[in-house]
Amino acid sequence: MLIEALKYLTTPCSPHLRALGFLSELIATEARHRRCRDAWAPHLEKTRAMISAAAGAASGNEKAVVLGGGLLTDIPLRVLAAKFATVVLVDVCFLKQTRRNVWRHPHIEMQTCDITGVAEAVRRGELPDPVVPDTLTLADADLVVSANVMSQLPLVPLAYLRKRHGLTDTEAARKFAEGIIRAHLDLLKSCPGTVCLITEVERQFLNETYVIGTEDPLWGVKPDMKGGEEWLWDIAPRPEASADYDVRNRVRATVWRGKT
């Protein structure tokens, strides 16, 4: 806990994003990775392989953009750095380890950005429509990667609205989360280059033998991911989330080429 607290105090992060809880969640995710390293390893390996294949399929080699590149545990950084003249990692903030890894590659940029564009309004207690920030430029990207981030986009804003602004309207929360995920898909579909989308599509809860329950992490959105690959991610083996059950994600991954 002391290490996490020190990281919170020393990691650069915009005040409004820090206040919403984005930095805390990033640090917590890094800590979960350390605790569940062995369980996560097959999923991270498959993710890196999928992104590497997408990089190889990209027709150009000028620019790659990674949406949600804050920890780099699932990003084949050396592969991207070797192929593309510019690599842009986009996230709300970056921990020291990520900055250290990027420092070795002067053509890799770190862009701090709320890719949903909702943070400022959420802090005021509003449920805004998502807006692509002006600073996020994907039109000139030969490769755009969205890796294990799409289902996470609504979670921190919703947690903040519930805790700080007393949001109890479940239908309003659902529409807000659905809108964020649909906007992210629309953003990816608008990209002219190669796109690699990797996301959980189902969350499963298991006892020793059976799946005892499921959740939809995409809030009803059903992305068209035909022709891709699928695998299971043991994201929270007992007792990480509960002493009574394991949590497992069903993950889908696909690559497509936009209209150039």
Model pLDDT, residue 10: 80
> What was the pLDDT predicted at 226?
80
Give the span between the Cα atoms of 102 and 77, in whole angstroms: 9
- Residues lower than pLDDT 50 in the chain: none
Please tell me the pTM assigned to this model.
0.94
What is the rounded CA–CA span in Å between residue 108 and residue 102?
6
Other CB atoms closer than 10 Å to residue 171's CB: what's the count?
Answer: 7
Burial 61-99 (b: 16+ CB within 10 A, else e): eebbbbbbbbbbbbbbbebbbebbebbbbbbbbbbeebe
Predicted local confidence at residue 1, as pLDDT: 67
- Confidence at residue 223, expressed as pLDDT on a 0 to 100 scale: 93
86-131 tens-digit pLDDT: 999 999 999 988 988 898 899 999 999 999 999 999 999 999 999 9
Cα angle for residues 177, 179, 230 (degrees, 5° grid): 75
Q: How confident is the model at residue 260, as a pLDDT?
A: 53
Q: How far apart are CA 187 and CA 167, in angstroms?
A: 27
Q: What does the pLDDT read at residue 2?
A: 73
